[in-house]
Amino acid sequence: MHNIAIIGTGSIGSVHAAAFLRDGRCRITALCSRTLSKCHDLIDTLDIKDKDDITITDDWHTLLDRDDIDIVSIALPPALHKEVTTAFLRSGKHVLLEKPMAISSEEEDEMMKAEKESGKKLGIIFQNRYYKAIQKAKKMLDEGYFGKVLSVDVTSHWFRGANYHNLYWRGIWESEGGGCLTGQGVHQVDMLLWFMSGLPESITAIMDNRMHTNSEAEDMGMAIMKFPGGAFGSFTISLSDMDEFQGFRFQCEKAAFQIPNWSLKVKKPQPNGFPEEDKEAEERLQEIFDSIQVDDKEGHDAAISRFIDAVDNNTSPDATSEDGRNATQFIDAFYLSAVSGERVSLPLTETSSVYTTKGLVASMPKFFHKTVSTESQKGKMTMGSAAK
């Protein structure tokens, strides 16, 4: 049985705690929040018999030397990820970290160094990978059923009201590391890089803030990319889409498909070059898709269970620190291109102005000045379209 400490008991920390318990191999040993009432509120929602045995604290440092904690789940604002993660790794704990991994590549270099030197696991929560249609499409792409990718169009559209950024750490470059691309679009960024097996060669981007006046950072942006091997890509991000459409459309040699709402099309040319449906090929690919067996667990339940598997079997986490760093590299290259007006090559190197947190914050525009700051907010947290 694994003993779990949850650091950060807001909305996403609550999701982590419930998923650990549903796994069946874990018990909650400690909860930490700067607002202790959030810990008590979370305990009241969990199906736990011995609630009095759970340590509640507002100081995560007090948990570092606890021998009865072996996995730490961190659901804190991004600016705190590096310090807390490295401390727990060096204290001998495995760490599962909410996205984004950190604000800059420099911070993530330190985290990966602590991971390597400690010998402990560092995994990143990228739960959108684990929905069934997405898992099946990834397997088929990797096994060559669609042929090579010609292009991929990514839409990462969300809706948050202007008051979303009233929470004290949101909407500030220094504490959040960005706007909707960092906070929401990172899910689609990870999936894009996962499907394409790595970073693009280059990215050209634009961004603005049109609707969220209590945020320094962007609330919309667009980019075009080129990947190794020649595939093109487009990426659009918004925080003002009331339809909240999030999806991928792949053009491949042998088919076109969309996720997370799966659809598949295959066509062949007529003698004059105009298209006609290739029903036989389409049905063959659909049969393969339908036959693929994937885990019944989805979303956070799957992400957390996969991490427990890695700990139990001493294998690499499914979503690694390298995956987390790649997502940050993509995001920071997007920001650099948007502010410079130039195409940015990847990977970013230590000479890049956005490689460090200090450099990133200094380089970015402040679209608006944050004027409202609250400790907590009421209301339910909603997930992206993959969860629907």
Q: What is the pLDDT of residues 61-119, one digit of tens each?
A: 999 999 999 999 999 999 999 999 999 999 999 999 999 999 999 999 999 999 999 99
Let me know if residue 321 belongs to a domain.
Answer: no
Domain at 97, CATH number: 3.40.50.720
Q: What is the model's pLDDT at position 213? A: 97
Indicate the number of domains in the chain: 2
Task: Tell me the average pLDDT across 264-287.
Answer: 98
Co-location of 100 and 158 in the same domain: no
The predicted structure's pLDDT at residue 379: 86
pLDDT digits (tens, 9 = 90+) for 157-216: 999 999 999 999 999 999 999 999 999 999 999 999 999 999 999 999 999 999 999 999
Are residues 232 and 352 both part of a single domain? yes
Same domain for 367 and 220? yes
386 pLDDT exceeds 80? no
Gyration radius of the chain over CA positions: 21
Measured in whole angstroms, the distance separating CA 367 from the mean position of its chain's CA atoms is 24
- The pair of structure tokens assigned to 240 is 């003002």
How far from the centroid of its chain's Cα atoms is residue 263's Cα? 24
Q: Report d(CA 284, CA 318) in Å as an integer.
A: 30
Within this chain, do residues 133 and 273 fall inside the same structural domain, yes or no?
Answer: yes
Percent of the chain scoring above 90 in pLDDT: 93
Q: Does residue 191 share a domain with residue 121?
A: no
Question: Residue 101: its pLDDT value, please?
Answer: 98
Structural domain includes residue 320: no
- What are the beta bridge partners of residue 56? 31
Number of neighbouring beta carbons within 10 Å of residue 68: 10
Is the predicted pLDDT of residue 280 greater than 80, yes or no?
yes
Closest CA to 33 of 52, 49, 11, 53: 11
Confirm whether 222 is domain-assigned.
Answer: yes
Q: Give the separation between CA 254 and CA 296, rounded to whole angstroms.
A: 29
Please say if the pLDDT value at position 50 is more than 90.
no
CA-to-CA distance for 212 and 167, rounded, in angstroms? 13
Q: For 283-306, what is the mean pLDDT?
A: 96
Per-residue pLDDT, 47: 78
Check which CATH number belongs to the domain holding 170 and give it: 3.30.360.10
Which residue shows structure tokens 């490689």? Answer: 355
Range with lowest mean pLDDT among 33-42, 77-86, 278-287, 343-352: 33-42
Q: Which residues contact 102 (CB under 8 A, 6 or more apart)?
A: 78, 81, 82, 85, 108, 111, 177, 324, 328
284: in domain = yes
Ranges of beta strands (E only) in 11-126 are: 26-32, 55-57, 71-74, 94-98, 122-125
Q: Is residue 196 part of a domain?
A: yes
Q: Flag whether pLDDT at 143 surpasses 70.
A: yes
Looking at the structure, tell me whether residues 119 and 141 fall in a common domain.
no
Instruction: Specify the pLDDT at position 376.
Output: 81
192 in any annotated domain: yes
**Within a 10 A sphere around the Cβ of 79, how many other Cβ atoms?**
18
Q: Per-residue pLDDT for 304 more than 70? A: yes
Confidence band for 388, pLDDT divided at 50, 70 and 90: low
User: Over 80: is that where the pLDDT of 334 sits?
Assistant: yes
pLDDT at residue 6, as a whole number: 98
Say yes or no to pLDDT of 382 above 90.
no
Note whether 106 and 203 are same-domain residues. no
Mean pLDDT for the stretch of residues 249-257 = 98
Same structural domain for residues 250 and 222? yes
Confirm whether 86 is domain-assigned.
yes
Residue 280 located in a structural domain? yes
User: How far is the CA of 337 from the CAs of 13, 152, 198, 251, in angstroms?
Assistant: 33, 20, 19, 25
> Using an 8 Å Cβ cutoff, are 333 and 206 in contact?
no
Residue with tokens 């979370």: 42
**Inter-helix orientation angle 132-142/279-291, to 10°:** 120
Q: Is the pLDDT of residue 293 over 70?
A: yes
- Across the chain, mean pLDDT equals 96
Residue 384 has pLDDT above 90, yes or no: no
Residue 387: band (very low, low, confident or very high) from pLDDT cuts 50, 70, 90: low
| pLDDT confidence bin for 49, thresholds 50/70/90 | confident
Residues 339, 273: one domain?
A: yes
Peptide bond into 100 cis (omega under 30): yes
**CA dist., res. 130 & res. 257, Å (int):** 18
Same domain, 193 and 99: no
291 and 303 inside one domain: no
Residue 375 lies in domain: 129-295+326-387
Q: Are 366 and 216 in contact (CB under 8 A)?
A: yes
Cα distances from 257 to residues 70, 78, 114, 146, in angstroms, run 42, 34, 40, 9
Task: Answer yes or no: do 163 and 281 share one domain.
Answer: yes
Q: What is the predicted pLDDT for the residue at 123? A: 98
Contact 385, 244 (CB under 8 A): yes
